[in-house]
Amino acid sequence: MSNDGRTYVDDSLPAMLSRVGKSDHYATFQDAVLAWYALAVEERKSASIKIRNGGTIYHSWEIPWLYRKP
């Protein structure tokens, strides 16, 4: 979290969208977020997005509040 209370993410990094029984790899974090928004509401509640190669995991309640890294 930054000094302004926001969580910034480099949306150009590769990411993985995970939900019950399925994981999809995306070239960018931004693509994974767009795919997350396209999920049905019930499916979105249990989904998470992970920055690939050992990065941070963002849970469903965090994703709408993420900001692009300036």
Per-position DSSP letters for the chain, written without gaps between them: --TTS-EEE-TTS-EEEEETTEEEEESSHHHHHHHHHHS-HHHHHT-EEEETTT--EEETTTGGGEEE--
Long-range contacts, 56-61 (Cβ 8 Å, 24+): 56/9, 58/9, 60/36
Question: Is 2 contained in some domain?
Answer: no
**Quick check: 49 and 29 in contact, CB under 8 A?**
yes
Q: List pLDDT tens digits, range 41-64.
A: 999 999 999 999 889 999 999 999
Number of domains, the chain:
1
The domain in which residue 43 lies consists of 7-68
pLDDT value of position 2: 64
Question: Is 1 contained in some domain?
Answer: no
Question: Is 24 contained in some domain?
Answer: yes
Question: Is 11 contained in some domain?
Answer: yes
pTM of the model: 0.88
Q: What would the mean pLDDT of 15-37 be, rounded to a whole number?
A: 96
